[in-house]
Amino acid sequence: MLWKRVKNKGVMFLDSIYLDNNATTKIDDEVLSAMLPYLKEEYGNPSSIYSFGADVKEQIKIARQNVAKLLNADLDEIIFTSGASESNTTAIMNAVRNNPQKKHIITTKSQIYPIIYHKPIQQHTTNLPNNNWKIIIHML
């Protein structure tokens, strides 16, 4: 948290500025508006066999199509994850799996941390086709 002096109606006080957007970020109003129905009313499990979940699955399909079109990507290239650790891990692990001839991962400490220290993710590293890879961490 960073504090700055703010003058309001002649009174000086400290106001805070949130600087940890790497950990969590205020949701954009447009995103909130688009997501609100799925957080309050249409929260069915998209993997289920009943219609409540099937409707959500269809909306995810449409969202995937929209993102793919926006990025000029194929549908199977669009992967929705729950957050940064899962996203980073998915990217790193897929890079390793798809390039078994490579021997090094060059990354920053913040990107590799989930793979090394996060217990649920550690189990995936033992299933790689090439377990002889070396992690080079650059401190940026």
Residue ranges making up the domain that contains 117: 84-138
Residue 43 located in a structural domain: yes
Question: pLDDT-derived band of residue 102, with 50, 70 and 90 as boundaries?
Answer: confident
Q: In this structure, are 92 and 130 located in the same domain?
A: yes
For the chain, what is the domain count? Answer: 2
CA distance 137 to 140: 9
Nearest to 53 by CA among 61, 40, 43: 43
**What confidence tens digit (pLDDT) does each residue in 43-100 have?**
899 999 888 999 999 999 999 999 999 999 999 999 998 877 778 778 877 877 788 7
Q: In this structure, are 117 and 132 located in the same domain?
A: yes
- Kindly give the interhelix angle for 84-98 and 109-117, rounded to the nearest 10 degrees: 80
The pLDDT, as a whole number, for residue 90 is 81
Q: In this structure, are 40 and 67 located in the same domain?
A: yes
Indicate the SS3 state at residue 87: helix
The pLDDT, as a whole number, for residue 23 is 67
This model's pTM is above 0.85: no
